Amino acid sequence: MSRVVYSDQTASSEQEALRSAHGVRLVSGAEEGTGVNALPAGTYGFTYSPGLPNAPLFAVRRYRSYETHKLPTGETYLIGFATPKAATDIASSEEVTVLLHPEPEGDSMVLVRIPYRSIRRHRGYAAPNEHGFQLTVSGV
């Protein structure tokens, strides 16, 4: 029986620029596994529990894990990729349901940031074998 091994995923220059603009640093080894709610402001990491207030963050991006930023202000953002239409819908003040991807995929090539405060509904986890994470947002 063979074993599937997923390599670490690398960030795009746009993601690196967003991290810099948000003023966040990667979670340290000692902080890994801590819920985003308990982490210090100014950190980011990766999770399979996007949108949960206590989503555990890890330093290494694994296959289909979602990036989460906790800004220096303490506000938390879910980072992902959406279609151009979904990105426009997210930016509106309307309540919309969109599919967010952890990395660029198909037509989902637009980097978006969704404040946790704008998430209205979502499933509490993202399965690595599924393509996208559906959530409802408003007032971004």
Inter-residue contact 78 to 102 (CB < 8 Å):
no
Domain positions in the chain are 13-137
Q: In which band, very low, low, confident or very high, does the pLDDT at 136 lie, cut at 50, 70 and 90?
A: confident
End-to-end CA distance of the chain: give it in Å, rounded: 47
Across 12-39, average pLDDT: 94
Q: In which band, very low, low, confident or very high, does the pLDDT at 125 lie, cut at 50, 70 and 90?
A: low
Inter-residue contact 60 to 47 (CB < 8 Å):
no
Structure tokens at 51: 């949108």
Task: Determine whether 113 is exposed, middle or buried from the number of CB atoms within 10 Å of its CB (0-12, 13-18, 19+).
Answer: middle
- For Cα atoms 21, 133, 18, give the angle at the middle one, nearest 5 degrees: 5
Dist CA 47 CA 59 (whole Å): 9
Indicate the range of 9-13, 51-55, 67-71, 132-136 predicted with least confidence.
Answer: 9-13
Residue 135: pLDDT over 60: yes
The percent of residues above 90 in pLDDT, for the chain, comes to 51
The percent of residues above 70 in pLDDT, for the chain, comes to 85
Structure tokens at 77: 């953002």
Across 69-78, average pLDDT: 96
Closest by CA to 68, choosing from 35, 46, 38, is: 46
Q: Of residues 17 and 120, which shows the higher confidence score?
A: 17
- For Cα atoms 92, 53, 81, give the angle at the middle one, nearest 5 degrees: 45
